[in-house]
Amino acid sequence: MTQTHMMPDGRAIAYRHIAGTIAGTGPTIVFLPGYMSDMAGGKASAVFDWAAAGGRACLLLDYSGCGQSAGNFADGTLSRWRDEVIALIEAYVAGPVVLVGSSMGGWLMLLIARAMPGRIAGLVGIAAAPDFTEWGYDSAQKAQLAAGQTVLEPNPYGPEPTPTHAAFWADGQAQLQLDAPIPLDAPVRLLHGIEDADVPPAIGHRLMGALRSGDVQLTLVKGGDHRLSRDEDIALLLRTLASLAD
């Protein structure tokens, strides 16, 4: 059942949460969707169903302006969405968490983990896309964004173009992660499709190298695209989660 969490400024954040029903089933799984995605997506739903079937605790949410959450997408930034996730974890989750970040959610999971390192039992990145405001735009697009304009790009997953708003881009440029050591020590598992046309697999290699943790594994998936949503990709994700959550 979808519920609503009210932020102090009145933002209404939609979420789904189940508490673990079996003792010893490990940390709460927190799924972080990608850019313009939501908790109704295939990977989020698969994780939630897997957690429920195993008596595990799980938290899904829609960032403000996305999915069932109120707000204007144009107001969204990494900092804003990071703070929403942290607020929900603090309100509804006791004990450690495993953050699962898909695409942009893989950038958010780093920011959240840095803000609350004592709560992190592990990180799972699915085509994690940290720093895409830097490597994902050409110089002309960056000039537009720096001038306060919105950049529209073709959307391979839907009929409407994908917008990047100036505030999101500016906030992202202030949150770059890959050019300095990332001071996180939890186990990290990175899953990346070799055929990913949106986030180059080289980003996964850069992230693995930047993380301070000595327990980081990057799995390259033959034939996998950016979404990693085939049956075999979902099975890999759930096996990876089980290995961390257990």
Which among 22, 29, 33 has a CA at the least distance from the CA of 51?
29
Strand (E) positions, 77-224? 97-102, 120-126, 151-153, 162-164, 188-193, 216-221
The structure's pTM equals: 0.97
What is the average per-residue pLDDT within 94-109? 97
CB 55 within 8 A of CB 22: yes
Q: Is 243 a catalytic residue?
A: no
Residue 57 in domain:
yes
Dihedral of alpha carbons 77, 122, 242, 51, sign: negative
pLDDT tens sequence across 139-185: 999 999 999 999 999 988 888 899 999 999 999 999 999 999 999 99
Residue 52 in domain:
yes
Candidate list 83, 171, 196, 198, residue with the active-site label: 196
- Express as a percent the part of the chain with pLDDT over 90: 94
How many Å apart are CA 57 and CA 28, to the nearest integer? 5
Identify the pLDDT of residue 221.
98
CB 177 within 8 A of CB 131: yes
Domain with 123 in it: 3-137+181-245
Q: DSSP string of 120-137?
A: EEEEEEES--TTHHHHSS
Residue 145 in domain:
no
pLDDT tens sequence across 17-49: 999 887 667 999 999 999 999 999 999 999 999
Strand-strand pairing, 58-61 and 120-126: unpaired
Identify the pLDDT of residue 123.
98
Phi, psi of 120 (to 5 degrees): -95, 115
Residue 109 in domain:
yes
Residue 81 in domain:
yes
Quote the number of domains for the chain: 1
Neighbouring CB atoms inside 10 A of 173's CB total: 14
Identify the pLDDT of residue 243.
95
Candidate list 62, 102, 226, 233, residue with the active-site label: 226
CB 49 within 8 A of CB 17: no
Q: Is 196 a catalytic residue?
A: yes
Phi, psi of 118 (to 5 degrees): -70, -15
Identify the pLDDT of residue 24.
67
Residue 162 in domain:
no
Identify the pLDDT of residue 21.
80
Candidate list 103, 165, 171, 198, residue with the active-site label: 103
For the cut 70, the answer to whether the pLDDT of residue 93 exceeds it is yes
Residue 163 in domain:
no
First to last CA, the chain: 26
Identify the pLDDT of residue 22.
73
Question: CATH number, domain at 20?
Answer: 3.40.50.1820
Q: Is 103 a catalytic residue?
A: yes
